Amino acid sequence: MSKVMLISIKPEFAEKIFNGEKSIELRKATPSVEPGDMVIVYCTLPVKAVIGYCRVEKILKMAPQQLWLEHQSRLGIDEKRFQEYYRNVNTAVGISLREICRLNDDISLDTIKQRFPRFSPPQTFRYYDNQVFEQYLDLQGKEREQSCA
């Protein structure tokens, strides 16, 4: 059974994912996902909403400098900020994304909490099974279209 990962991303970087400027999400910890697993994107303050989803293409683990040299055009960040993020870290983790889909209407935290009162956004990421993903989409209505790249 494939897994669903809900991931919290700052608005600047979430927007870059959905406008095509970024296809690798940077992390310091390695998520427990495999190619094909679903990623639900929760956009943090001030947006506070699920704004889209995508699939894991692969997980990249390498020295920060190697990740920068090989994939800088897909990272959506400048070198200075990249180096600051990975300062004193030996291994950089990149979640390479594919099938990136932006929801036409964001699903606000308030809306999610109405349906799932115990929900709280993760600090980094949290895992669910596929049925939960379907429930998130039901919040938006099955008839609404998404914009997918």
Residues 94-138 pLDDT 10s: 999 999 999 999 999 999 999 888 889 999 999 987 776 566 556
User: What is the mean predicted confidence (pLDDT) over 23-46?
Assistant: 96
Please tell me the distance from the alpha carbon of residue 36 to that of residue 141, in angstroms, as a whole number: 24
**C-beta atoms surrounding 74 within 10 Å:** 16
Please tell me the distance from the alpha carbon of residue 141 to that of residue 120, in angstroms, as a whole number: 21
User: What is the mean predicted confidence (pLDDT) over 47-51?
Assistant: 96
CATH fold for the domain made of 3-58+96-148? ph1033 like fold (3.10.590)
Residue 144 confidence class, pLDDT cut points 50, 70, 90: very low
Q: Per DSSP, what are the bridge partners of residue 49?
A: 43, 108
Residue 22 confidence class, pLDDT cut points 50, 70, 90: very high
Burial class (CB in 10 A: 0-12, 13-18, 19+), 91: middle
Which residues have C-beta within 8 Å of that of residue 69, sequence separation ≥ 6? none
- Structure confidence by residue, pLDDT tens digits, 50-76: 999 999 999 999 999 999 999 999 999
Whether 142 has a pLDDT exceeding 50, the answer reads: no
Residue 115 is predicted with a pLDDT of: 84
Whether 141 has a pLDDT exceeding 80, the answer reads: no
- Three-point CA angle 148, 106, 115, nearest 5°: 120
Please tell me the distance from the alpha carbon of residue 86 to that of residue 26, in angstroms, as a whole number: 10
Residue 137 is predicted with a pLDDT of: 57
**Token reading at 63:** 């020295």
Nearest CA to 3 out of 37, 47, 30, 54 is that of 37
Where exactly are the structural domains of the chain?
Answer: 3-58+96-148
Instruction: Please give the mean pLDDT across all residues of the chain.
Output: 90
